[in-house]
C-alpha cells in the first residue's frame, strides 16, 4: 500500500541526493504514470515516453512540491500535462488500444473469459471517447482518485470535474450500448 508518508520520506531522501530513493519512487508510481498517459495517448510507446517525461519533470521540480499535498495528485497533474503535450505533437498517430491489465491466474476459465470480454468492450468504448473523457474515467474508476484530486490533476474546479465525470460516464454508456448493439447485429 502506497502512503503519503512513504512518498514524503522518499522525496526527502531524493532531495538529499539518494539515487536509490529515486528508483524506489519511480517503481512505486510507474504503473500509474503509464496508465494515465496510455488513456490519453492510446499508444504504448507514446505513453511510455510521456510517463518518462513526467518523471523527469517531477524530479526537476521536486523542490516545489508541497509536502502537505499528496505526491500522486501533484505528479498526476504532471503526467496529464506531459501526455497532452505529446498528443498535440503527435496528433495524427493514434493506434489501436491494447490491453494493459493482466488477469489473475487463479480465475476460472469462465471468469477469465467474462472479464476479458468486459475489458475488451470497455477498452474499445474508451477508445472512442475523447482523451479527456477517457482520462477522467480512468482517474476516477481505475485509479480511485477523488473528485478533488481529479480537479487538481486536470486544473478544473471540483464541481467542473464532477460534471465532466458525469458527462463522460454518459458518453461511455452510450458508446458501450452502441458497440454492443453493433456486435449483436453482426452475430445475426
Asked, for residue 90, whether it belongs to a domain, the answer is: yes
pLDDT tens-digit profile of 5-40? Answer: 788 999 999 999 999 999 999 999 999 899 989 988
Q: 105 pLDDT exceeds 80?
A: no
Q: What percent of the chain shows pLDDT beyond 70?
A: 84
Burial class of residue 66 (count of CB atoms within 10 Å of its CB; 0-12, 13-18, 19+): exposed
How much is the mean pLDDT over the chain? 82
Task: Say if residue 77 is in the same domain as residue 122.
Answer: no
* Cα torsion angle, 168, 174, 180, 183, sign: negative
Residue matched to cell numbers 524530479? 59
- DSSP codes, 95-122: -------PPPTTS-HHHHHHHHHHHHHH
Asked, for residue 176, whether it belongs to a domain, the answer is: yes
Higher pLDDT, 113 or 110: 113
Instruction: Choose one of 95, 120, 146: the last residue of a domain.
Output: 95
Q: Give CA–CA dist 184/7, Å, rounded.
A: 48
Q: What is the pLDDT of residue 42?
A: 84
Task: Say if residue 151 is in the same domain as residue 63.
Answer: no
Q: 178 pLDDT exceeds 60?
A: yes
| Kind and range of the H or E run holding 50 | helix 44-60
Task: Say if residue 45 is in the same domain as residue 110.
Answer: no
Structural domain including 120 reads 106-188
Asked, for residue 67, whether it belongs to a domain, the answer is: yes
Instruction: Choose one of 67, 95, 123: the last residue of a domain.
Output: 95
Q: Give CA–CA dist 33/79, Å, rounded.
A: 6
Number of domains in the chain: 2
Q: 138 pLDDT exceeds 60?
A: yes
Task: Say if residue 81 is in the same domain as residue 118.
Answer: no
In terms of Cα–Cα distance, which of 126, 163, 61, 143 is closest to 153? 143
pLDDT tens-digit profile of 72-92? Answer: 889 988 998 899 888 877 664
35: domain CATH number is 1.10.1740.10
| pLDDT confidence tier of residue 57, bands split at 50, 70 and 90 | very high
Q: Do 156 and 109 meet the contact criterion of CB atoms below 8 Å apart?
A: no
CA distances from 174 to 14, 167, 168, 179, 181 (A): 46, 11, 10, 8, 11
| Nine cell digits for residue 110 | 469462465
177: domain CATH number is 1.10.10.10
| Nine cell digits for residue 61 | 521540480
Instruction: Choose one of 68, 95, 122: the last residue of a domain.
Output: 95
Task: Say if residue 57 is in the same domain as residue 137.
Answer: no
> pTM score, two decimals?
0.54
Higher pLDDT, 99 or 116: 116
| pLDDT confidence tier of residue 180, bands split at 50, 70 and 90 | confident
Q: 1 pLDDT exceeds 50?
A: no
Amino acid at each position: 500500500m502506497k502512503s503519503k508518508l512513504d512518498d514524503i520520506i522518499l522525496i526527502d531522501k531524493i532531495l538529499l541526493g539518494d539515487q536509490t530513493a529515486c528508483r524506489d519512487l519511480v517503481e512505486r508510481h510507474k504503473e500509474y504514470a503509464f496508465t494515465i498517459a496510455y488513456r490519453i495517448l492510446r499508444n504504448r510507446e507514446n505513453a511510455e515516453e510521456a510517463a518518462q517525461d513526467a518523471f523527469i519533470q517531477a524530479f526537476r521540480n521536486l523542490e516545489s512540491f508541497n509536502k502537505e499535498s499528496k505526491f500522486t495528485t501533484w505528479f498526476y497533474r504532471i503526467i496529464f500535462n506531459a501526455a497532452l503535450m505529446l498528443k498535440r505533437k503527435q496528433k495524427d498517430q493514434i493506434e489501436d488500444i491494447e490491453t494493459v491489465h493482466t488477469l489473475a491466474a487463479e480465475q476460472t476459465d469462465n471468469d477469465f473469459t467474462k472479464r476479458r470480454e468486459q475489458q475488451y468492450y470497455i477498452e474499445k468504448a474508451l477508445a472512442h471517447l475523447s482523451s479527456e473523457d477517457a482520462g477522467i474515467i480512468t482517474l476516477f474508476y481505475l485509479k480511485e482518485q477523488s473528485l478533488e484530486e481529479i480537479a487538481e490533476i486536470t486544473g478544473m474546479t471540483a464541481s467542473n470535474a464532477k460534471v465532466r465525470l458525469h458527462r463522460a460516464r454518459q458518453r461511455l454508456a452510450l458508446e458501450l450500448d452502441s458497440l454492443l448493439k453493433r456486435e449483436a447485429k453482426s452475430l445475426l
